[in-house]
Amino acid sequence: MAAAVLLEQIQTVLVVTLDDPDALNTYDGATLKALGDAWKELDRTAELRVAVLTASGTRSFCAGANLQSIAAGGFSDPPYPELAENVSVKPVLAAIEGFCLGGGMMLACGCDLRVAGESAVFGLPESRWNLPAQWLGALGRQLLPAHALELAMLGDARLPAKRLYEMGWVARVVEDGTARATALDLAHRIGQMAPRAVRHFKELVLASNFTEPQESLARGMEQAVDLMSMSDTAEGVRASLEGRLPQFRDE
């Protein structure tokens, strides 16, 4: 199974597409490596401000690891748990249609906002097959523990997008077939925001899972000093007073 990941740049947005719909966009080690490389490309390319992770077709976003690859020894080591959380310093959105199962939820965990078609279904079948989910702590930080355990311990459970929205994990539930377009629209809107402010705010929110309140506040004050020293801040104030869109340069 070759790495089936497509990259496309649309203005300031990097679109990353899982492209193996006949296999429900499952992945092997090569696919995960390609995804890791894509997130590194996002971080090091200044003109890219945001990314969307999506998949070909509407039947499946990602049904997890390719079982044939596992049977053939394609996952001798636990694969890339770092893809489950904060994959980039820049914002990443997931556009989910159809199945989002097992490692598919891992990939969606690594995104900051998740947009799902109304017929999308979510589940963690690993406990049915004695497969690892070494990334599950990331899901436990994004959901209430009881909700994460409902998915993890009931390997045959399939929860609808509406339920994941109620849990606070899915940001938007949209008409089937429109998740990609909705995520792209949100990404373009985020791309118009001040890029350093967006990165700082993402860092602060995600770090709150691991830091004490006073430490978080101190980091927020450091960010404030940094932002107030930027020419982008002066541009933002001028644009607001002049009733126009700001032209941010990340300076």
- SS3 string of the chain? CCCCEEEEEECCEEEEEECCHHHCCCECHHHHHHHHHHHHHHHHCCCCCEEEEEECCCCEEECCECHHHHHCCCCCCCCCHHHHCCCCCCCEEEEECCEEECHHHHHHHCCCEEEEECCCEEECCHHHHCCCCCCHHHHHHHCCHHHHHHHHHCCCCCEEHHHHHHCCCCCEEECCCCHHHHHHHHHHHHHCCCHHHHHHHHHHHHHCCCCCHHHHHHHHHHHHHHHHCCHHHHHHHHHHHHCCCCCCCCC
CB 69 within 8 A of CB 31: no
CB 109 within 8 A of CB 138: yes
What does the pLDDT read at residue 86?
Answer: 82
CB 99 within 8 A of CB 121: yes
What does the pLDDT read at residue 2?
Answer: 55
Q: Comparing 136 with 86, which gets the higher pLDDT?
A: 136
What does the pLDDT read at residue 77?
Answer: 54
How confident is the model over 45-65, as pLDDT tens digits?
Answer: 999 999 999 999 999 999 998
Q: Which of 178, 57, 119, 75 is nearest to 106 (CA)?
A: 75
Give the tokens for residue 45: 């390319």
pLDDT bucket at 1, cuts 50 / 70 / 90: very low
Phi-psi region of 158 (alpha: psi -120 to 50; beta: other; left: phi over 0): beta
pLDDT bucket at 132, cuts 50 / 70 / 90: confident
Q: Which of 185, 178, 14, 26 is nearest to 100 (CA)?
A: 26
Residue 81 pLDDT exceeds 70: no
Residue 21 pLDDT exceeds 60: yes
pLDDT bucket at 106, cuts 50 / 70 / 90: very high
Residue 3 pLDDT exceeds 90: no
Average pLDDT over residues 1-5: 71
Task: Return the residue matching tokens 């993890």.
Answer: 152
Residue 75 pLDDT exceeds 60: no
How confident is the model over 168-191, as pLDDT tens digits?
Answer: 999 999 999 999 999 999 999 999
What does the pLDDT read at residue 205?
Answer: 93
CB 126 within 8 A of CB 133: yes
What does the pLDDT read at residue 54?
Answer: 99
The chain-wide mean pLDDT, for the chain, equals: 93
